[in-house]
Structure 1
Amino acid sequence: MVEVTTTLSIFFFAALLEIGGGYLVWRWLKDHKTKIFGLVGALILFSYGIVMTLQPANFGKVYATYGGIFVVSSIIWGYWIDKKRPDKFEIIGSVVVIIGVAIMFYFPR
């Protein structure tokens, strides 16, 4: 159980870094914010790459699993930051993705 909690914490922290960094770059380019937005966003994105190396599994398995975590985290980010309430298909899709992630990463071989 500790391993599951640890890996999920790393996945969600990495998602926060990737989405947050990407969001700052997005704001810099799309909303013509100052270059500091882009620079800070790039540094945060770089940090995301480092955090992902803390996972105990191999690269392909980690990044495939992270893709599912990223989907769910993006929906949550949209709700909290962009104030966009997810529709039922986004929620259903997120549940399907999380089930897939759990099977792929956590089920014993």
Structure 2
Amino acid sequence: MEFIVTTLGVFFLAALLEIGGGYLVWKWLREHKGKMFGLIGGLILFVYGMVPTLQPAEFGRVYATYGGIFVVASIMWGYWIDKKKPDRFEIIGSVVVLVGVAIMFYFPR
């Protein structure tokens, strides 16, 4: 159980960094915020690139699993930050993705 909690924590940290950094770059370029938004966003994205290396699996499996976590985290970000309530299809899709993630990363080989 500790393995699952630790790896999910690393996946969600990576998602927070990627979405947060990307959000700042988005604000800089799309909403014409200051250059500091872009600089800080870029630095956060750089740190994000290092976080998945903390996972105990090979690159392909880590990034495939992370893709699913990213989908769910993006929906959560939209709800909490952009105040966009997910519709039923986004929720259903997130559940499907999480089932896929569990099968790919956590089922014994």
The total of aligned residue pairs comes to 109
Instruction: Say which SS state the counterpart of residue 82 (structure 2) adopts.
Output: coil
Partner of 1:42: 42
Point out 4+ residue stretches in structure 1 off by more than 6 angstroms.
none
Give the distance between the partners of 2:103 and 2:30, measured in 1 at CA: 37
Partner of 1:67: 67
TM-score, normalised by the number of residues in structure 1: 0.99
Amino acid corresponding to residue 8 of structure 2 in structure 1: L
Give the distance between the partners of 1:57 and 1:47, measured in 2 at CA: 19
Amino acid corresponding to residue 62 of structure 1 in structure 2: V
Offset of residue 7 of structure 1? 0.3
Instruction: Say which SS state the counterpart of residue 8 (structure 1) adopts.
Output: helix
Partner of 2:108: 108
Offset of residue 74 of structure 1? 0.1
Amino acid corresponding to residue 44 of structure 1 in structure 2: I
Give the distance between the partners of 2:61 and 2:44, measured in 1 at CA: 23
Offset of residue 95 of structure 1? 0.1
Percentage of matched positions with identical amino acids: 77
Q: Which stretches in structure 1 are left out of the alignment for 5+ residues? A: none
Offset of residue 77 of structure 1? 0.1
Partner of 2:97: 97
TM-score, normalised by the number of residues in structure 2: 0.99
Offset of residue 85 of structure 1? 0.1
Instruction: Say which SS state the counterpart of residue 53 (structure 1) adopts.
Output: helix
Partner of 1:52: 52
Give the distance between the partners of 2:106 and 2:52, measured in 1 at CA: 17
Instruction: Say which SS state the counterpart of residue 54 (structure 2) adopts.
Output: coil
Give the distance between the partners of 1:55 and 1:49, measured in 2 at CA: 12
Partner of 1:5: 5
Cα deviation, 1:9-41, whole Å, max 9, x if unaligned, reads 000000000000000000000000110000000
Cα deviation, 1:42-86, whole Å, max 9, x if unaligned, reads 000000111111000000000000000000000000000000000
Instruction: Say which SS state the counterpart of residue 84 (structure 1) adopts.
Output: coil
